[in-house]
Amino acid sequence: MQHMYKFFISTCLLFIFVDGFSQQKKDTIIDSKKDTIIYKSAYGLRVGVDISKPIKAQFDGSYSGFEIVGDYRLSKRFYAAVELGFEEETTQEDFTNSTAKGSYIRAGFNFNAYKNWLDMNNEIYVGYRYGFSVFEQTLNSYTPNVNNQYFPSNTVTTPITTSGLNAHWSEIVLGFRAEAFENFYITFSGSYKILMSVKDPDNFKSLFSPGFNRVFESGTGFGFNYTLTYLIPFQKK
């Protein structure tokens, strides 16, 4: 019995490591000269346009849109950002066809999570936006869903326009920004939007909101931007 205990205890001890150093590190490094070169980066206002929207309008006849973007650097990593735009889109569904058009504003901030090398000015950022849009929606036509062949329904083609609609939402943004030339940036970003409130037309629903895109049943939406921006530098620090 005693031998067995000995065996187990020895086996346990087998896996114990002892880490020891016989040399102590020197507290002071002889060559303690600090690198004195500090790379300054530019602070200023960056303005530009979203080129994805005119491109989308070229390929998708039911869409047109325009957006200008701007941001202002507040600190080393924080930027205040704003986007203003106009969009019009026709939504074709199985039983309805509707057009929404209007303008929107998104305001918030970006946090640059990317640590640049030397004097590079690239960004991988996350951000928050509060969005607000004012728009009108026209129900161009609809076919009542009667689901029977015996008494089919006719398509109603009298347009019904509801103006004064609005939507409020929050979005989180993830973006990649690269300085292509000096002070000239290319940015790609995607956003996930959560609707906070939307005004629906009577006996219909806001299916698309400018700046928010398609409003999903769950009150969520997606967006992406591809922007070209130019930085107007105010100062370097």
Partner 1 sequence: MRKIIFLLGFVLLINTSCEKDDFCLQNPITPSLIITFYDDVNRETPKNVRRLSIIAQSKTDSLFTNSASDSIAIPLNSLDTKTVYVLKKNDADGTRANNQIATFTIEYTPQDTYVSRSCGYKVTFNNITFSKDTNSWIKDFTPNTSTTIDNQNAAHVQIFH
Long-range contacts (CB closer than 8 Å, 24 or more residues apart) made by 66-71: 67/225, 69/225, 69/227, 69/229, 70/45, 70/46, 70/229, 71/45, 71/46, 71/110, 71/229
> Is residue 5 close enough to count as binding partner 1 by CB under 8 A?
no
Is 164 an interacting residue with respect to partner 1 (CB under 8 A)? no
Which of 207/231 has CB closer to partner 1?
Answer: 207
Residue closer to partner 1, measured from CB, 70 or 219: 219
Q: Centre a 10 Å sphere on the Cβ of residue 110 and count the other Cβ atoms it contains.
A: 25
Please count the residues of this chain forming the interface with partner 1, following the rule CB under 8 A.
32
| Shorter beta-carbon distance to partner 1: residue 11 or 147 | 147
Shortest reach from residue 181's CB to partner 1, in Å: 26
How many Å apart are CA 177 and CA 226, to the nearest integer? Answer: 10
Rounded to an integer, what distance in angstroms lies between the CA atom of residue 189 and that of residue 175?
Answer: 4
192 makes contact with partner 1 (CB under 8 A): yes
Identity of the residue, 86 or 108, whose beta carbon is nearer to partner 1 in the bound complex: 108
Contact 48, 28 (CB under 8 A): no
Site for partner 1 in 129-158 (CB under 8 A): 142-148, 150-151, 153-154, 156
Q: Name the 3-class secondary structure at 104.
A: strand
178 part of the interface to partner 1, by CB under 8 A: no
Of 69, 89, 90, the closest CA to residue 81 belongs to 69
Contact residue for partner 1 among 134, 172, 178, 228 (CB under 8 A): 172
Candidate ranges 13-21, 38-46, 90-98, 102-110; the one touching partner 1 (CB under 8 A) = 90-98
Q: Could you give the CA distance from residue 56 to residue 236 in angstroms, rounded to a whole number?
A: 37
Beta carbons of 232 and 47 less than 8 angstroms apart: yes
Closest CB 119 distance from partner 1, rounded Å: 21
Residue 35 binds to partner 1 (criterion: CB under 8 A): no
Name the residue nearer to partner 1 (CB basis): 86 or 212. 212
Which of helix, strand or coil describes residue 173? strand
Q: Where along the sequence are the contacts to partner 1 (CB under 8 A)?
A: 93-96, 113, 124, 126, 142-148, 150-151, 153-154, 156, 172, 174, 190, 192, 203-205, 207, 216-218, 220, 222
